[in-house]
């Protein structure tokens, strides 16, 4: 099967493959030996929270800044 990457870096998964994963919404994308590998992922609340924490840490945002942002968003 052949697929083409669009100018927006999107790739359509061929129907025969997509049908095998019809209940999967998210895939982890990795590269190995020049190949793109899609692995089905089930996101749980814990997975999402961990990813948010990783992103906050990467951006250098402190716990206090997060608390202030939450208070602001809640209008307190």
- pLDDT higher than threshold 90 for residue 48: no
Cβ within 8 Å of residue 17, ≥6 positions away: 1
Q: How far apart are CA 64 and CA 9, in angstroms?
A: 37
- pLDDT computed for residue 64 by the predictor: 92
Residue 39's pLDDT band, with cuts at 50, 70 and 90, is very high
**pLDDT tens-place string over residues 19-34:** 999 999 889 999 999 9
- pLDDT higher than threshold 80 for residue 75: yes
């Amino acid at each position: 099967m052949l697929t083409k990457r669009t100018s927006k870096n999107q790739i359509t998964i061929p129907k025969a493959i997509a049908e095998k994963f019809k209940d999967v919404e998210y895939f982890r994308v990795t590269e190995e030996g020049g190949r793109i590998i899609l692995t089905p992922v089930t996101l749980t609340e814990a997975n999402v929270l961990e990813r948010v924490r990783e992103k906050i840490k990467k951006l250098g945002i402190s716990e206090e800044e997060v608390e202030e942002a939450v208070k602001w968003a809640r209008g307190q």
